Amino acid sequence: MSSSGPGTAAVSTPFAGSRAAKGPGIDPARARARSARRRRIGVRTVALGYLAMLLLAPVLMIFYRTFEHGLAPVWNAATTPSAEHAFWLSLEIVAIAVPLNTAFGIGMALLLERGRFWGKAILGLLIDMPFAISPVVVGLSLVLVYGKTGWLGDWLAEQGIQVIFSVPGMVIATAVVSLPFVVRETIPVLREMGTDAEQAAETLGASRWQTFLRITLPGIRWGVVYGVVLTTARALGEFGAVSIVSGRIEQQTQTLPLYVQDRFENFDATGAYTAAVVLALLAIGTLLAMNLLTRRAHRGTVD
């Protein structure tokens, strides 16, 4: 150890000298730190700027334009019969489509993650199709199957069931476009949880149903909740597919997004902006609710 002493000193001397020669303030380490900080700030500016231009500015503009002339016109626009009908119809569709997709999503996630069967990869791809296919195409294909001239249309008409141009078709269209969310959010959580706890429950005498309710479901609940939130947000905002299967009949098959479009096309800016704000508030409310739920849960049961 002592023999290396002079060697180290010899190496460090010219280095110290060069530093002194460049004068004070140009410490290479500090300069490096500063350039790293500058780069970091640069990246943040770009990221935030991108977000601001694409998301924040348009949303804020909607809010600004809506409340530009005070609250009274907004209240009037929000309480027209058509607006109210569209609001409740949107909620009704969400209230049916989201539970359907939640139940289906959990079951499908279990099947895809735990099952061993032929064609599993194909089934996984099929589940993702609604992400890839344009909602307009989804709408058109539903008309081809359930419409009057469609494949099941005659039979459905004989039974007195109208799917296209009525609520059932809109629920189906909404369910299809928001199908993958619960499945895709639940699968990774299921995988991370593993099967040990479920097997432990089984050896302790729990039936399959008891194991599912008391071990599996609580274990995956945050994945499911997140999936439900995304499904709800997507379902609320769905335009393309619903637009085609609904026929956009005012006060009958007009959801909030369709109503926004209708008002906008009819030069009723206040009506359009008001409905848009209501939609935005619903979505923000959903996200906030999830956030609160997650936070409370983390405080209660340290996972």
Partner 1 sequence: MAIEARNVSKHFGDFAALQDVSLTVADGALTALLGPSGSGKSTLLRIIAGLETPDSGEVIIGEHDVTSSPARSRGVGFVFQHYAPFKHMTVHDNVAFGLSVRKRPKDEISARVDELLGLVRLEGLAGRYPSQLSGGQLQRMALARALAVQPRVLLLDEPFGALDAQVRAELREWLRRLHEEIHVTTIFVTHDQEEAMEVAEQIVVMNKGQIEQAGAPRELYESPANEFVMSFIGPVNRLGDAFVRPHDIQILPEADGTGTEALVERVVHLGFEVRVELKLHDGREIWAQVTREEAQQLELVEGQILSIRLPQPRVFAS
Among 97, 201, 256, 282, binds partner 1 (CB under 8 A): 201
**Is residue 204 part of the contact set for partner 1 (CB under 8 A)?**
yes
Among 69, 214, 296, 298, binds partner 1 (CB under 8 A): 214
Side chain identity at 233, as an amino acid letter? A
Query: Virtual CA dihedral for 190, 196, 199, 205, nearest 10 degrees?
Result: -110
Residue closer to partner 1 by CB (options 22, 214) is 214
Give min distance, CB of 208 to partner 1, in A. Answer: 9
Which residues make Cβ contacts (< 8 Å) with residue 291, sequence separation at least 6? none
Binding mask 219-238 for partner 1 (x = CB under 8 A): x-------------------
Give min distance, CB of 212 to partner 1, in A. Answer: 12
Give min distance, CB of 159 to partner 1, in A. Answer: 42
Binding mask 272-301 for partner 1 (x = CB under 8 A): -----------------------------x
Side chain identity at 128, as an amino acid letter? D
The closest alpha carbon to 74, from 285, 287, 229, 271, belongs to: 271
The closest alpha carbon to 301, from 199, 222, 187, belongs to: 222
Residue closer to partner 1 by CB (options 40, 208) is 208
- With 0-12 / 13-18 / 19 or more C-beta atoms within 10 angstroms meaning exposed / middle / buried, residue 59 is middle
d(CA 72, CA 129): 44
Give min distance, CB of 198 to partner 1, in A. Answer: 9
- With 0-12 / 13-18 / 19 or more C-beta atoms within 10 angstroms meaning exposed / middle / buried, residue 302 is exposed
Using CB under 8 A, list all residues that contact partner 1.
196-197, 199-207, 210, 214-215, 218-219, 301-303
